[in-house]
Amino acid sequence: GKNHDDEKHRISRKKYFDWVAIYLKEKIHGASDVMRDEIFDDIPKYRNGGVRILYPSIYPLPDGLKEGILLEVGFDNVSPNQPKTITSWAFEKAKSNSKISVKDNRARHVSCYEPQYTFVEKLQAIARKYRLFKEGKGTRAMPENFLRHYYDIYQLLDLPEVRAFIGTHTYESYKKERFKGDSTDLSRSEAFTLDNLAERSLFEKEYIRTSSLYYRGQPAFSDILTRIHDVLPTL
Protein backbone atom coordinates (compact mmCIF):
# COMPACT_ATOMS: atom_id res chain seq x y z
CA GLY A 1 0.00 0.00 0.00
CA LYS A 2 0.92 3.68 -0.23
CA ASN A 3 1.86 3.81 3.44
CA HIS A 4 3.93 0.61 3.44
CA ASP A 5 7.29 2.32 3.24
CA ASP A 6 9.23 0.97 6.19
CA GLU A 7 12.59 -0.64 5.49
CA LYS A 8 11.08 -4.10 5.96
CA HIS A 9 8.47 -3.31 3.29
CA ARG A 10 11.14 -2.15 0.86
CA ILE A 11 13.21 -5.28 1.45
CA SER A 12 10.12 -7.43 0.99
CA ARG A 13 9.34 -5.81 -2.38
CA LYS A 14 12.91 -6.29 -3.58
CA LYS A 15 12.79 -9.96 -2.59
CA TYR A 16 9.57 -10.29 -4.54
CA PHE A 17 11.19 -8.95 -7.73
CA ASP A 18 14.09 -11.37 -7.22
CA TRP A 19 11.59 -14.22 -6.84
CA VAL A 20 9.73 -13.21 -10.03
CA ALA A 21 12.94 -13.60 -12.05
CA ILE A 22 13.57 -17.07 -10.61
CA TYR A 23 9.94 -18.12 -11.12
CA LEU A 24 9.80 -16.99 -14.75
CA LYS A 25 13.07 -18.73 -15.55
CA GLU A 26 11.31 -22.03 -14.96
CA LYS A 27 8.10 -21.09 -16.79
CA ILE A 28 8.99 -19.34 -20.07
CA HIS A 29 9.56 -21.77 -22.91
CA GLY A 30 12.43 -20.91 -25.24
CA ALA A 31 14.12 -18.36 -23.00
CA SER A 32 17.85 -18.83 -22.53
CA ASP A 33 17.85 -16.92 -19.25
CA VAL A 34 15.79 -14.68 -17.00
CA MET A 35 17.62 -12.22 -14.80
CA ARG A 36 17.07 -9.13 -12.72
CA ASP A 37 17.86 -5.80 -14.41
CA GLU A 38 18.38 -3.53 -11.43
CA ILE A 39 18.96 -0.45 -13.59
CA PHE A 40 15.17 -0.16 -13.64
CA ASP A 41 14.68 -0.60 -9.89
CA ASP A 42 12.99 2.24 -8.05
CA ILE A 43 15.68 2.71 -5.41
CA PRO A 44 15.33 3.01 -2.45
CA LYS A 45 11.55 2.45 -2.28
CA TYR A 46 11.46 -0.55 -4.66
CA ARG A 47 7.98 0.25 -5.94
CA ASN A 48 9.10 -1.33 -9.21
CA GLY A 49 11.94 -3.49 -10.47
CA GLY A 50 13.37 -4.74 -13.75
CA VAL A 51 13.36 -8.33 -14.99
CA ARG A 52 15.00 -9.16 -18.33
CA ILE A 53 14.12 -12.23 -20.42
CA LEU A 54 16.84 -13.39 -22.82
CA TYR A 55 16.31 -15.42 -25.98
CA PRO A 56 18.83 -16.97 -28.39
CA SER A 57 19.35 -14.80 -31.49
CA ILE A 58 21.03 -15.45 -34.82
CA TYR A 59 21.26 -11.76 -35.68
CA PRO A 60 23.42 -9.06 -34.08
CA LEU A 61 21.64 -6.44 -32.02
CA PRO A 62 21.03 -3.09 -33.76
CA ASP A 63 22.78 -0.13 -32.18
CA GLY A 64 20.88 1.27 -29.22
CA LEU A 65 19.01 -1.94 -28.40
CA LYS A 66 19.58 -4.02 -25.30
CA GLU A 67 19.44 -7.78 -25.43
CA GLY A 68 16.21 -9.47 -24.38
CA ILE A 69 12.78 -8.31 -23.31
CA LEU A 70 12.40 -6.04 -20.30
CA LEU A 71 9.58 -6.53 -17.82
CA GLU A 72 9.01 -3.63 -15.45
CA VAL A 73 7.28 -5.26 -12.49
CA GLY A 74 5.86 -3.15 -9.74
CA PHE A 75 3.17 -1.92 -7.37
CA ASP A 76 1.08 1.04 -8.51
CA ASN A 77 -2.33 2.17 -9.64
CA VAL A 78 -3.96 -0.17 -12.16
CA SER A 79 -7.29 1.60 -12.59
CA PRO A 80 -9.03 3.11 -14.43
CA ASN A 81 -8.26 0.71 -17.24
CA GLN A 82 -9.58 -0.64 -20.52
CA PRO A 83 -9.43 -4.20 -21.95
CA LYS A 84 -7.06 -4.37 -24.93
CA THR A 85 -5.62 -6.99 -27.26
CA ILE A 86 -1.82 -6.95 -27.16
CA THR A 87 -0.16 -7.76 -30.46
CA SER A 88 3.31 -7.33 -31.97
CA TRP A 89 4.71 -6.14 -35.27
CA ALA A 90 6.18 -9.61 -35.85
CA PHE A 91 2.76 -11.28 -35.50
CA GLU A 92 1.02 -8.71 -37.69
CA LYS A 93 3.70 -9.05 -40.37
CA ALA A 94 3.46 -12.85 -40.39
CA LYS A 95 -0.34 -12.75 -40.34
CA SER A 96 -0.41 -10.53 -43.45
CA ASN A 97 1.42 -13.22 -45.44
CA SER A 98 -1.06 -15.90 -46.54
CA LYS A 99 1.79 -18.34 -47.18
CA ILE A 100 2.79 -18.37 -43.52
CA SER A 101 0.91 -20.40 -40.92
CA VAL A 102 1.15 -18.65 -37.57
CA LYS A 103 -0.38 -19.37 -34.19
CA ASP A 104 -2.42 -16.51 -32.78
CA ASN A 105 -0.65 -15.91 -29.48
CA ARG A 106 -1.95 -12.41 -28.89
CA ALA A 107 -2.92 -11.58 -25.33
CA ARG A 108 -6.60 -10.65 -25.20
CA HIS A 109 -8.62 -8.60 -22.73
CA VAL A 110 -5.52 -7.26 -21.00
CA SER A 111 -6.41 -4.49 -18.55
CA CYS A 112 -4.44 -1.46 -19.76
CA TYR A 113 -4.16 1.77 -17.84
CA GLU A 114 -6.12 4.55 -19.51
CA PRO A 115 -3.85 6.82 -21.60
CA GLN A 116 -4.90 10.01 -19.79
CA TYR A 117 -3.38 8.71 -16.57
CA THR A 118 -0.37 7.24 -18.34
CA PHE A 119 0.22 10.74 -19.73
CA VAL A 120 0.49 12.22 -16.23
CA GLU A 121 2.86 9.44 -15.15
CA LYS A 122 5.04 10.11 -18.19
CA LEU A 123 5.22 13.79 -17.25
CA GLN A 124 6.35 12.82 -13.77
CA ALA A 125 8.90 10.36 -15.18
CA ILE A 126 10.47 13.06 -17.36
CA ALA A 127 10.66 15.50 -14.44
CA ARG A 128 12.21 12.87 -12.15
CA LYS A 129 14.73 11.56 -14.68
CA TYR A 130 15.73 15.08 -15.67
CA ARG A 131 16.46 15.78 -12.03
CA LEU A 132 18.60 12.62 -11.86
CA PHE A 133 20.43 13.76 -14.98
CA LYS A 134 21.16 17.15 -13.41
CA GLU A 135 22.27 15.57 -10.15
CA GLY A 136 24.48 13.06 -11.94
CA LYS A 137 22.81 10.18 -10.13
CA GLY A 138 21.98 8.10 -13.16
CA THR A 139 23.86 4.84 -13.57
CA ARG A 140 24.94 6.17 -16.96
CA ALA A 141 25.47 9.58 -18.53
CA MET A 142 21.76 9.52 -19.35
CA PRO A 143 19.10 7.88 -17.12
CA GLU A 144 17.77 4.68 -18.66
CA ASN A 145 14.97 5.19 -21.21
CA PHE A 146 14.88 8.90 -20.37
CA LEU A 147 14.36 10.24 -23.88
CA ARG A 148 11.86 7.54 -24.78
CA HIS A 149 9.43 9.30 -22.41
CA TYR A 150 9.50 12.44 -24.57
CA TYR A 151 8.48 10.31 -27.55
CA ASP A 152 5.71 8.70 -25.49
CA ILE A 153 4.38 12.14 -24.52
CA TYR A 154 4.48 13.13 -28.20
CA GLN A 155 2.37 10.11 -29.13
CA LEU A 156 -0.06 10.50 -26.24
CA LEU A 157 -0.71 14.12 -27.20
CA ASP A 158 -2.07 12.80 -30.48
CA LEU A 159 -5.02 11.24 -28.62
CA PRO A 160 -8.17 13.41 -28.29
CA GLU A 161 -8.98 11.95 -24.86
CA VAL A 162 -5.57 13.02 -23.54
CA ARG A 163 -5.95 16.55 -24.89
CA ALA A 164 -9.41 16.80 -23.33
CA PHE A 165 -8.07 15.53 -19.99
CA ILE A 166 -5.42 18.26 -19.65
CA GLY A 167 -6.52 21.04 -17.33
CA THR A 168 -9.46 19.19 -15.81
CA HIS A 169 -9.88 18.91 -12.05
CA THR A 170 -9.07 15.19 -12.26
CA TYR A 171 -5.90 15.94 -14.22
CA GLU A 172 -4.69 18.51 -11.70
CA SER A 173 -5.55 16.25 -8.77
CA TYR A 174 -3.75 13.26 -10.22
CA LYS A 175 -0.74 15.36 -11.21
CA LYS A 176 -0.48 16.63 -7.63
CA GLU A 177 -0.66 13.04 -6.37
CA ARG A 178 2.07 11.79 -8.71
CA PHE A 179 4.44 14.72 -8.27
CA LYS A 180 4.02 14.72 -4.50
CA GLY A 181 6.17 17.57 -3.13
CA ASP A 182 7.61 18.61 -6.50
CA SER A 183 6.34 21.63 -8.40
CA THR A 184 3.43 20.85 -10.71
CA ASP A 185 3.90 24.02 -12.78
CA LEU A 186 5.49 22.29 -15.75
CA SER A 187 5.38 25.39 -17.95
CA ARG A 188 8.53 26.58 -16.16
CA SER A 189 10.22 23.22 -15.77
CA GLU A 190 13.59 22.95 -17.51
CA ALA A 191 12.81 19.30 -18.18
CA PHE A 192 10.18 20.44 -20.68
CA THR A 193 11.35 23.86 -21.85
CA LEU A 194 14.90 22.61 -22.51
CA ASP A 195 16.09 26.20 -22.74
CA ASN A 196 19.67 25.06 -22.22
CA LEU A 197 20.77 24.61 -25.84
CA ALA A 198 23.75 22.45 -24.92
CA GLU A 199 21.46 20.04 -23.09
CA ARG A 200 18.95 20.09 -25.91
CA SER A 201 21.69 19.20 -28.39
CA LEU A 202 22.91 16.40 -26.14
CA PHE A 203 19.40 14.99 -25.77
CA GLU A 204 18.83 15.14 -29.52
CA LYS A 205 22.05 13.22 -30.24
CA GLU A 206 21.15 10.56 -27.68
CA TYR A 207 17.63 10.33 -29.09
CA ILE A 208 18.93 9.82 -32.64
CA ARG A 209 21.33 7.15 -31.39
CA THR A 210 18.35 5.00 -30.40
CA SER A 211 16.64 5.25 -33.80
CA SER A 212 16.52 1.45 -34.12
CA LEU A 213 13.91 1.36 -31.34
CA TYR A 214 11.35 3.08 -33.57
CA TYR A 215 10.38 0.54 -36.20
CA ARG A 216 7.59 2.76 -37.59
CA GLY A 217 9.89 5.72 -38.03
CA GLN A 218 11.39 8.18 -35.59
CA PRO A 219 9.96 11.71 -35.51
CA ALA A 220 12.52 14.49 -35.27
CA PHE A 221 13.33 15.53 -31.71
CA SER A 222 12.47 19.12 -32.69
CA ASP A 223 8.98 17.96 -33.74
CA ILE A 224 8.53 16.26 -30.37
CA LEU A 225 9.46 19.45 -28.53
CA THR A 226 7.21 21.56 -30.74
CA ARG A 227 4.19 19.41 -29.91
CA ILE A 228 5.01 19.50 -26.19
CA HIS A 229 5.62 23.26 -26.21
CA ASP A 230 2.28 23.87 -27.94
CA VAL A 231 0.48 22.63 -24.82
CA LEU A 232 3.14 23.41 -22.21
CA PRO A 233 1.36 26.50 -20.79
CA THR A 234 -1.59 24.26 -19.88
CA LEU A 235 0.47 21.47 -18.32
Q: How far apart are CA 174 and CA 178, in angstroms?
A: 6
Counting Cα atoms < 13 Å in the Cβ hemisphere of 126 gives 25
The answer to whether the pTM exceeds 0.85 is: no
Q: How do strand 81-86 and strand 69-74 relate by DSSP bridges? A: unpaired
Give pLDDT tens digits for 123-171: 999 998 898 888 885 445 677 788 999 999 999 999 999 999 999 999 9
Tens-digit pLDDT profile for residues 41-61? 888 889 889 999 999 988 888
